[in-house]
Amino acid sequence: MRTQVAIIGAGPAGLLLSHLLHLDGIESVIVETRSRADIEATIRAGVLEQGTMDILNESGVGQRMRGQGALHHGFELAFGGKRHRIDLTGLTGKAITVYPQHEVIKDLVAARLAADGQILFEVSDVALHGVDTQTPSATFMHNGEARSIEADFVIGCDGYHGVSRPAMPAQEQRKNFQRIYPFGWFGILVESAPSSEELIYARHERGFALVSTRSPTVQRLYFQCDPADHVDNWSDDQIWAELHARLENHDGWKLAEGKIFQKNIIGMRSFVSTPMQSGRLFLAGDSAHIVPPTGAKGMNLAVSDVKLLAHGLEQFYKKGSGERLASYTDDALKRIWRAEYFSWTMTRLLHTFAEATPFEREMQRAELENIVTSRAMATALAENYVGAF
Ligand code: FAD
Ligand code: DHB
């Protein structure tokens, strides 16, 4: 098989890239290890920044998001027994949408298939070859047959555990930056109307908790936990007791309970691997960087990488210039490091660190007080949250 751009992985990065390239008249083929049903059912991110909403709308795949997503003009920070609103729109003129990642995936898969785009699901043994030549290729197994795709470019959109980052030449010269946090998030999906119109990020001595939504009938709730814990160690009653203890303050607000129909635990890390390109192989999204989920930046960063790559590839094919592709790593890293900083800041501010001294805990509380009492500090936080940079 021959195509212009071979894309490894059908997550938000790979699917959106293929869609944007198609709109520019550039051919691509996506290979994905999982099934269509599996990628369309995996519960992950929920928050879309303004820039992510804009690109989905501008590229014609925003219709369901506009109809079913919930536009949020603010969120709440809860600590010390009180809730404080961060007025995103008042402070920045922008907003976010809560619309689940797997719905974005459904919209993008549908758009690619409607345009006769090629997505090969359930492939295995993916390997990349000749990435420093003009004719890179990917080999893999599909439906029991050995297949290969030759392309002008290979784009690694295969997430943190994919094959693309390890296939980058000169591994010994790569720079990897990493921080692993000593906690994880226990996430649940609950059949009930939202407890709060806006997201609540809560700091409590027992640990962080987050109230989010998925739809008018489903809540998404998280609480800080031991990353090595297992969901089976927690009865539903224990989960509710923990969430009530961390979230309910003295103002009468109540967390609505309902049937818990999904539970998972995720570990948390910050990670950046550079460079994000070598010859004709480029990395985008989680294959090159990870943020802890507290700032809701992961999927949004994948989208901003892909926007840069789509422009670079358009310039290459339409104008014969490799200039924007050449500066991809530098251009992408500017935003990535700021999002890494913000995600680390939100994580540091809101979680309980077992090893923190009493002094450090007071500093954490004082920083939160600063944010909710200083318009300048709140504006900086809001700008980062909506992605206004
Ligand atoms: P992925 O979504 O990981 O997609 C990679 C794809 O490649 C997968 O489908 C995988 O099956 C496939 N693949 C892997 N290996 C291979 C291979 N060898 N060959 C072919 N295919 C392969 N981000 C936000 O922006 N906002 C949020 O609110 C948010 N909340 C989150 C909450 C949770 C609980 C979690 C876990 C994450 C959250 N994130 C959030 C992060 C976000 O989900 C990720 O950053 C995003 O999925 C990255 O997209 P991607 O396309 O780069 O990678
Ligand atoms: C969700 C996830 C996040 O990481 C976040 O900061 C806000 C919301 C969610 O899954 O709804």
Which ligand lies nearest the alpha carbon of 288? 1
Q: What is the mean pLDDT of residues 88-102?
A: 95
User: Does residue 250 register a pLDDT over 80?
Assistant: no
Same domain as 220, residue 186 = yes
Nearest CA owner, ligand 2 atom 5: 296
Q: How remote is the CA of residue 142 from the centroid of ligand 2, in Å? A: 34
Question: How confident is residue 388, by pLDDT bands cut at 50, 70 and 90?
Answer: confident
Same domain as 297, residue 233 = no
User: Does residue 389 register a pLDDT over 80?
Assistant: no
User: Does residue 249 register a pLDDT over 90?
Assistant: no
Q: How remote is the CA of residue 206 from the centroid of ligand 2, in Å? A: 20
Contact yes or no for 48/192 (Cβ under 8 A): no
Same domain as 305, residue 241 = no
| Total domain count, the chain | 2
Q: What is the pLDDT of residue 46?
A: 86
Q: Is residue 53 part of a domain?
A: no
Domain with residue 132: its CATH number is 3.50.50.60
User: Does residue 45 register a pLDDT over 90?
Assistant: no
Same domain as 170, residue 133 = yes
Q: What is the pLDDT of residue 6?
A: 98
Q: What is the pLDDT of residue 278?
A: 96
Cβ of residue 386 lying under 6 Å from some atom of ligand 2 = no
Q: Is residue 61 part of a domain?
A: no
Q: Is residue 323 part of a domain?
A: yes
Same domain as 310, residue 162 = yes
Same domain as 256, residue 212 = yes
- Tens digit of pLDDT for each residue in 352-379? 999 999 999 999 999 999 999 999 999 9
The count of residues in the chain is 389
Same domain as 308, residue 184 = no
Query: Which residue type sits at 140?
Result: F
3-class SS at 245?
A: helix
Same domain as 221, residue 201 = yes
Q: Is residue 88 part of a domain?
A: no
Nearest CA owner, ligand 1 atom 3: 159
Of 47, 99, 104, 211, the one to substitute when testing ligand 2's pocket (max ligand atoms within 8 A of C-beta) is: 47
Q: Rounded to an integer, what distance in angstroms lies between the CA atom of residue 227 and that of residue 321?
A: 46
Residue with tokens 């709140």: 378
Same domain as 360, residue 332 = no
Percent of the chain at pLDDT exceeding 90: 95
Q: Is residue 264 part of a domain?
A: yes
Domain with residue 366: its CATH number is 3.30.9.10
Which ligand lies nearest the alpha carbon of 303? 1
Cβ of residue 346 lying under 6 Å from some atom of ligand 2 = no
Q: How remote is the CA of residue 13 from the centroid of ligand 1, in Å? A: 8
Same domain as 360, residue 338 = no
Q: Is residue 310 part of a domain?
A: yes
Q: Is residue 151 part of a domain?
A: yes
- Closest to 310 measured CA to CA, from 125, 32, 59, 47: 59
Query: Which positions are annotated as active-site residues?
Result: 72, 201, 293, 297, 385
- Closest to 6 measured CA to CA, from 175, 143, 163: 163
Same domain as 362, residue 342 = no
Ligand 2 atom closest to the Cα of residue 185 is 4
- Tens digit of pLDDT for each residue in 191-202? 999 999 999 999
Ligand 1 atom closest to the Cα of residue 13 is 51
Helices 12-23, 298-319: crossing angle, 10 deg rounding: 30
Cβ of residue 189 lying under 6 Å from some atom of ligand 2 = no
Kindly report the pTM of this predicted structure: 0.96
Ligand 1 atom closest to the Cα of residue 160 is 3
How far from the centroid of its chain's Cα atoms is residue 86's Cα? 22
Q: What is the mean pLDDT of residues 306-318?
A: 98
Same domain as 259, residue 162 = no
Ligand 1 atom closest to the Cα of residue 39 is 9
**Exposure string over 78-100, b if 16+ CB within 10 A, otherwise e:** bbeeebbebebbebbebbbbbbb
Range of 293's domain? 5-46+100-174+275-346
Q: Is residue 245 part of a domain?
A: yes
